Chain A
Amino acid sequence: MPVTVRLFRGGVHPKEGKELSCSEPIRTAPLLDKYTVILHQHIGAPPKLLVKNKDKVRKGQVIAEKAGFVSASVHSPTSGTVKLVNCHGPAGSHTPAVEITSDGKDEWDDYVKSDPDWEQLDSNECRKRVEQAGIVGMGGAAFPTSVKLSPPADKKIDNLILNGAECEPFLTADHRLMLEEGEKILTGASILGRILGVDKISIGIENNKQDAIDKLRETASKYSVEVIPLRVMYPQGAEKQLIFAITGREVPSGGLPMDAGCVVQNVGTAAAVADAVRERKPLIERVTTVTGKPVCNPGNWKFRIGTPLSKVLELAGGIKKQPAKMLLGGPMMGMAQYSLEVTIMKNASGVLLLDEDEIAQFGSQPCIRCGRCVEACPMSLMPGTLSQMIESEKFDLAEYTNVMDCIECGSCAYVCPALRPLVQHMKRGKAEVIANRK
Chain B
Amino acid sequence: MAEGKKTDIKLPDPSKLIVSSSPHLHNGSSVRKIMWLVILALMPSCIMGVYYFGFAAFRVLAVCVISSLIFEYIFARMMGRNNDWKDGSAIITGLLMGMLLSAGMPWWVCVIGCFIAIVFGKQVYGGIGFNPFNPACVGRIALIIAFPKMMTTWVPTRFMDKSFFVFDKSLLSPEKIEQIKGMSHLPFFHSVIDGVTCATPLGVVQTPFKLGTATEQLVGTVTDWQHVWQYAIGNIGGCIGETSAIALIIGGIFLIAMKVIKWYIPVSYIGTVAVFSTIVHFSMSPPALPGMVYQVLTGGLLIGAFFMATDMVTTPMTCKGGIIFGVGCGIITCVIRNWGGYPEGVMFSIVLMNALTPLIDRVTANRPFGKKQTSKTEA
Contact = CB atoms under 8 A, between A and B. Distances in A.
A135 interface: no
B335 interface: no
Interface string A309-331: 01001100111101111110001
Nearest to A249: B370
A19 to B, nearest CB: 16
A197 interface: no
Contacts of B372: 252
B317 A325 contact: no
Interface stretch (B25-33, B177-185, B275-283, B338-346): B25-33
Contacts of A327: 24
B22 A322 contact: no
Contacts of B8: 318
Contacts of B12: 294, 313, 319, 322-323, 326, 340, 353
A415 B1 contact: no
A253 B368 contact: yes
21 contacts: A252-B372, A253-B375, A254-B370, A314-B6, A320-B10, A332-B24, A336-B18, A336-B19, A337-B17, A340-B12, A340-B14, A359-B26, A360-B24, A360-B26, A365-B31, A368-B129, A369-B129, A370-B317, A415-B27, A423-B21, A423-B23
A337 B316 CA distance: 39
Interface residues of chain B: helix, strand, loop or mixed (majority): loop
B369 A379 contact: yes
B29 A358 contact: no
A203 B371 CA distance: 26
Contacts of A335: 22
Interface string B136-173: 00000000000000000000000000000000000000
B23 A402 contact: no
A417 B29 contact: yes
Contact of B318 (A254, A354, A361, A371): A371
Interface in A251-310: 251-255, 294, 310
A339 B30 CA distance: 32
Contact of B370 (A31, A240, A365): A240
Interface string B104-133: 000000000000000000000011111000
A331 B25 CA distance: 6
Contacts of A418: 30-31, 129
Given A325-B17, A360-B25, A374-B317, A30 B1 contact: yes
Contacts of B19: 92, 325, 336-338
Interface in A334-352: 334-340
A254 B375 CA distance: 12
Contacts of B369: 8-9, 240, 244, 250, 253, 378-380, 405
Contacts of A51: none
Contacts, number: 194
Contact of B33 (A319, A369, A417): A417
The A contact surface, by secondary structure, is loop
B312 interface: yes
Nearest to A426: B21
Given A336-B18, A338-B14, A368-B129, A380 B367 contact: yes
Contacts of A143: none
Contact of A368 (B15, B31, B126, B368): B31
A340 B366 contact: no
A12 B24 contact: no
Contacts of B126: 366
Contact of A414 (B23, B130, B367, B375): B23
Nearest to B321: A371
B21 A340 contact: no
A427 B21 contact: yes
Most buried by A among B29, B361, B368, B369: B369
Contacts of A416: 26, 29
Interface in B357-379: 361, 365-372, 375, 379
A226 to B, nearest CB: 24
Contacts of B16: 322, 324
Contacts of B18: 324-325, 336, 359
A14 interface: yes
A253 B378 CA distance: 14
B14 A367 contact: no
Given A362-B20, A369-B313, A418-B129, A314 B9 contact: yes
A410 interface: yes
B30 A417 contact: yes
A331 to B, nearest CB: 4
B13 interface: yes
Given A240-B370, A331-B24, 20 more contacts: A12-B27, A14-B27, A169-B25, A244-B369, A255-B370, A294-B12, A318-B8, A325-B19, A325-B20, A336-B20, A340-B14, A358-B25, A368-B129, A368-B312, A371-B312, A374-B366, A385-B361, A410-B23, A419-B26, A423-B22
